Chain A
């Protein structure tokens, strides 16, 4: 089991190496001179040449890649051209915020997805089925950024019920222990700040979660229908087991595995989708950092943030695969 899991992790390494190569190559082809951009506009040609030399830009591209990869592996992502700060520090501040938002959104997606899937399954072969399925199709036509805008309009502007910019009420200072705001506020015992942070996360997390819930509903429904074709369900019925126990005790246990695999895939997409939700809610996470960097052609940030998104997605995929292996008795011995 652990050997299989280790093999899975090892398979990730070459993918990551290739991703880093791709990122480096794609962004080195740009007609942008990082050296000239990092200097004040009054710099002379000689000064820019000196900066190019200091940054290693006069060396062959392959050497540059090796240097960049070596520094990246040591956690040194260079300095932001635009903000003139180490990129590693910027990542340290923004990655936890994005993780908090994504995990909360995934919980919401899970609750809506699993609940909705059971609901859809309960409607099978009934008159409401076609209506419910059409509704999920319509739900799938609202991507996360439209949900985010609609929720702002309804709950922020029309009802003034919930805040929709930033993470805290104005005037509140954020405690910094681990950089995870929700955790930090509790660690320093500021319950009021915690609830303010939570209120600020309701709309963005819901927008993100609800947008990624419909595929989960559909897979759970399809897997439950498959499970009900199996002999052990008929056996259980013949033994006189109640319908509720058949669903929860027998069918759901088997239907949950494919659902879990899909939820892993969805979490990867959701993590990327958080970018737009962050931009719309001015949420200070990696998405906003990325979009600002893209607008300013800030290459070190784009490379580091792009790589971080990939690392997180690959980590989630590996974790979910591991979890499915643990839960699936047929794979446990592998």
Chain B
């Protein structure tokens, strides 16, 4: 068994994520109802096992009579899509900045360091809100906003690591042999930081799920016709007394998905023996 699979948390996290991914992919097969089909005669139905519930709507309906389970499953697609594109995007941007700054040092490093300072002085939520005002709603812009806000999470941690790796003998040797900068960076330094990179990427995917939900909740995320967990939460909050499942179902979905990413990330950190301590915002 490879080293990274040896931690129980890695296995639990991966299993959770595989199930979530399967639910997203198989959504049309799992529920008959379509997520935006309204039935104004059957609004705010409770879950099937509660009194007054119907088997056709296992988790009940929302205030417009739309099936909660269907919306939950289709919302998974958006959450995972955003996580799968935004997190690698932030990683690529942050890693390039960290490699350039850590390897070349001097004014390159200075400029990147000051850029990180400026970015870090914005609370992430505030910066993403401001960006969404400028970019406008839509899932593509949500992804762009997450990339533009969160590249610093990668840059900060990776730059410190690059500075350590650059000092190692084999890197010095590679430079003395006369390899090009690109080759030293890509073939000698990059492989050394891959374990850290993968761990950070996993954690960032969880963060992306949360940010997508936050923006949709505030009403600045996806367009109204896209189905998002944050949108469901905003709707469900209005009917918290009549049909709490409308609120609790998407909250649980976010928790389970983010927990999957975090268990996997923490497990990887442990089994790959990384020292990584960071705040969360």
Contacts and interface: CB of A to CB of B under 8 A. Distances in A.
Interface of A: 14-16, 18-19, 22-23, 26-27, 29-30, 130, 133-134, 137-138, 140-143, 145-146, 149-150, 152-153, 157, 212, 214-215, 218-219, 222, 262, 265-266, 268-269, 271-273, 275-276, 279-280, 290-291, 294-295, 297, 302, 305-306, 309-310, 313-314, 317
B279 A19 contact: no
B126 A142 contact: no
Contacts of A215: 277-280
26 contacts: A15-B114, A18-B114, A26-B134, A137-B266, A138-B263, A141-B255, A146-B251, A149-B233, A149-B237, A149-B251, A150-B251, A153-B240, A153-B247, A153-B248, A157-B241, A215-B277, A262-B279, A266-B280, A272-B124, A275-B123, A275-B126, A290-B126, A290-B129, A294-B133, A313-B122, A314-B121
A30 B280 contact: no
Interface stretch (B167-175, B176-184, B214-222): B214-222
A317 B122 CA distance: 12
A26 B281 contact: no
A157 B240 contact: yes
A139 to B, nearest CB: 10
B40 to A, nearest CB: 25
A306 B134 CA distance: 14
Contact of B126 (A145, A218, A309): A309
Interface string B183-218: 000000000000000000000001000100110011
Of B126, B210, B278, B280, most A-chain CB atoms within 10 Å: B126
B75 to A, nearest CB: 15
A212 B262 contact: no
A306 B279 contact: no
Interface string B251-281: 1001100110111001000000000011111
A302 B134 CA distance: 11
B117 interface: yes
B122 A19 contact: yes
Interface in B92-126: 114, 117-118, 120-126
Contacts of A140: 262, 280
Nearest to A28: B134
A30 B133 CA distance: 8
A140 B280 CA distance: 9
B219 A295 contact: yes
Contacts of B281: 268-269, 272-273
B53 interface: no
A297 B134 CA distance: 10
B58 interface: no
B126 A306 contact: yes
B130 interface: yes
Nearest to A147: B251
B125 to A, nearest CB: 5
A266 B279 contact: yes
A294 B217 CA distance: 13
A174 B117 CA distance: 39
B266 A313 contact: no
Contact of A269 (B8, B123, B258, B261): B123
Contacts of A137: 9, 259, 262-263, 266
Contacts, number: 137
A268 B123 contact: yes
Given A19-B118, A145-B214, A146-B254, A269 B259 contact: no
A27 B134 contact: yes
B65 interface: no
B138 interface: no
B134 A23 contact: no
B88 interface: no
Contacts of A16: 121
A138 B262 CA distance: 8
Contacts of A152: 240
Contacts of A265: 279
Contact of B123 (A18, A273, A291): A273
B124 A145 contact: no
Contacts of B237: 149, 280
B278 to A, nearest CB: 7
Nearest to B131: A26
Given A30-B134, A276-B214, A306-B126, 8 more contacts: A14-B114, A26-B134, A140-B280, A150-B251, A271-B123, A275-B129, A290-B129, A302-B133
B230 to A, nearest CB: 9
Nearest to A262: B279
Contacts of A222: 277
Given A137-B262, A313-B123, A314-B121, A149 B247 contact: yes
A37 to B, nearest CB: 14
Of A141, A271, A302, most B-chain CB atoms within 10 Å: A141
Contacts of A157: 240-241, 244
B15 to A, nearest CB: 14
B246 to A, nearest CB: 11
Contacts of A22: 118
B259 A138 contact: yes
A27 B133 contact: yes
